[in-house]
Structure 1
Amino acid sequence: MSSTGLEGKSVIVTGAASGIGRASALKFAWEGARVLVADLDRTGAEQTAKEIEETGGQALAAVGDLSDRQVVEQVVQRAVAAFGGVEVLVNNAGIMDRMSALGETEDAEWERVIRINLTAPFLLTRAVLPHMLAAGRGSIVFTASEAGLRGSAAGAAYTASKHGVIGLVKNLAVMYRKQGIRANAIAPGPTSTNIQVDAGAEAHGPAVIGQLIGANIGRLGSAEEQAAAIVFLASDAASFVNGAVLAVDDGWAAV
């Protein structure tokens, strides 16, 4: 039996078709958890769930836009129906901006990044809270970012969204700790995933950010290294950790 206390737990992981989300879903399953794999990418989500099942685990794939409240409700209800509740939620799904400085940020870029990176985790967390409160326990882990700790890691929209995620984590930790619910986040540094940055070649933001990032980052991390931190924060090994933001960045946050 797993020493993490995750054996048999019901877990939702968003953005689990690839990258950090996929690595996290696989690691939760390896620890004995039952995993609902949520993503907009049907093929990737189904492949992750299939891989879990082929190694003897339990998994379901759920596909849809998690910034849509109806989709969120359907995802949560599916997990509850299949697994009897939701004991762990990993709000991992996210997108990058174009590294745009505020003066270059168009409405569409701002609204899309905030909707996916901040509104979707808000909606999903709100939807699982009644189930966690009824059970008297729960763990919620967010994927924040180095950009949530500083102003020199991304554009205006992404930076604001990840600062918002960290604020949400800390507020959740304070509001629900007496009800047995923990909320924490990882703040990844540069990690090898399929996330894309469509930066404008002549734009002001990318020119500034590129110089600052290049001077301060360490090595490129792996999705599995980020997943290990997520699973730790969700596990019994972190039972007294609440409201924390764990930098997983090879020391970038220390520079």
Structure 2
Amino acid sequence: MTGPRVALVTGANRGIGAFVADALEADGWVVERGSSAVADTTDRAAVEAWVGEVGERHGRLDLLVNNAGVMEQEVTLPESDPDEWWRTVEVNVRGPYLVTRAAWPLLVAAGGRVINLNSGAGVRPGLQASAYNVSKTALARITGSTDLAGREVGVRAFDLAPGVVRTDMTAAMRAHADRTDWTTPEQVLELVRALVDGRLDAYSGRMVRAGVDDVATLVAAADRLGERERTITVVPYADDDPLVP
């Protein structure tokens, strides 16, 4: 394909999404940040119309960044509000699913990439804000399934955990009230650029984390990756555990 590469970044009006969208534009990408037609990525008709408009405007889509997400109140599961709890799961799981599904033909045509903004919360249960942990675990499964579906058609998908970047959301969280060691936007963007340009293709279907991982180390470790490394899976109690795949 000729012409500038095209990216679609959800939730790009602020925070990490804005950092990523700004950096891609600085690198020469055309970035679609959403529109008033899609106030809610959980609305199937609106998502399909929006992605269709992107395809009509540009005729291609090289990168999808599923960044839009929410977090509920920091209370335990028994204290949580059911509607708020479920809404968190809807936004963080149904949203990326719908956008990825709608964008799929364009991504296949371009041999594109999907980056899902995940979290370390996705690999463990949460005492507080449990819906967020649940949603990020589910998002990792979407990433893995996207990777499997994309292997024969040239589409790759990655979980990118951004660490704890200082944004409006994280700054307001009690869990980070005393934090001083924030992940920088530059650390996130280093991994985004490496995922986009193919240096980390071995990690398709897997998770990388800004602030802990660096590109050189990930590249050096790529040939040591087995089927389960950097994925969410059951940890066996021993080699003879019958749950070992």
| TM-score above 0.5, yes or no | yes
Quick one: distance in 2 between partners of 1:224 and 1:31?
14
Quick one: distance in 2 between partners of 1:249 and 1:104?
32
Unaligned ranges ≥5, structure 1: 1-5, 43-61, 200-205
2:132 to 155, 158, 170: 158
Quick one: distance in 2 between partners of 1:71 and 1:77?
10
1:90 to 62, 65, 75: 65
Which deviates the most, 241-250 or 160-169? 241-250
Quick one: distance in 2 between partners of 1:173 and 1:83?
24
Which deviates the most, 120-129 or 110-119? 110-119
Name the TM-score, length of structure 1 as normaliser.
0.74
Unaligned ranges ≥5, structure 2: 214-229, 231-245
Report how far residue 228 of structure 1 moved.
Answer: 3.1
Name the TM-score, length of structure 2 as normaliser.
0.77
Q: Could you tell me which residue of structure 2 aligns to residue 33 of structure 1?
A: 29
Partner SS, residue 61 of structure 2 = coil
Q: Could you tell me which residue of structure 2 aligns to residue 52 of structure 1?
A: none
> Which structure features the higher share of strand residues?
1
Paired-residue identity, %: 28
Contact 2:47 2:98 in 1 (8 A): yes
Which deviates the most, 139-148 or 71-80? 71-80
1:220 to 182, 192, 196: 182
Report how far residue 235 of structure 1 moved.
Answer: 2.2
Matched ranges for 1:8-157 at <5 A: 8-38=4-34, 63-133=38-108, 135=109, 137-152=111-126, 155-157=129-131
Quick one: distance in 1 between partners of 2:208 and 2:180?
16
Which structure has more relative contact order (CA 8 Å, sep 6+)? It is 1
Query: How many residue pairs get matched?
Result: 214
Partner SS, residue 179 of structure 1 = coil
Change (3 A) 1:23 1:153: farther
Report how far residue 214 of structure 1 moved.
Answer: 8.2
| Per-residue deviation, residues 73-124 of structure 1 (Å, max 9, x unmatched) | 1221121111112121000011112122221122111121011111100000
Contact 1:118 1:165 in 2 (8 A): yes
Is the counterpart of residue 247 in structure 1 residue 190 in structure 2?
Answer: no
Q: Could you tell me which residue of structure 2 aligns to residue 184 of structure 1?
A: 158
Report how far residue 153 of structure 1 moved.
Answer: 7.9
Report how far residue 244 of structure 1 moved.
Answer: 1.8
Quick one: distance in 1 between partners of 2:183 and 2:171?
17
Q: Could you tell me which residue of structure 1 aligns to residue 226 of structure 2?
A: none
Q: State the one-letter code of the partner of 1:131.
A: L
Quick one: distance in 2 between partners of 1:178 and 1:169?
15
Contact 1:139 1:181 in 2 (8 A): yes
Report how far residue 239 of structure 1 moved.
Answer: 3.6
Contact 1:143 1:186 in 2 (8 A): yes
Report how far residue 234 of structure 1 moved.
Answer: 2.3
Contact 2:77 2:128 in 1 (8 A): no
Partner SS, residue 152 of structure 2 = helix
Q: CA RMSD in A?
A: 2.8
Report how far residue 189 of structure 1 moved.
Answer: 2.1
Partner SS, residue 191 of structure 1 = coil
Is the counterpart of residue 167 in structure 1 residue 141 in structure 2?
Answer: yes
Contact 2:77 2:127 in 1 (8 A): no
Structure 1 residue ranges, 4+ long, deviating more than 4 angstroms after superposition: 196-199
Report how far residue 197 of structure 1 moved.
Answer: 7.9
Report how far residue 176 of structure 1 moved.
Answer: 1.8
Report how far residue 29 of structure 1 moved.
Answer: 1.2
Q: State the one-letter code of the partner of 1:125.
A: T
| Per-residue deviation, residues 42-98 of structure 1 (Å, max 9, x unmatched) | 6xxxxxxxxxxxxxxxxxxx6521111122112211211111121210000111121
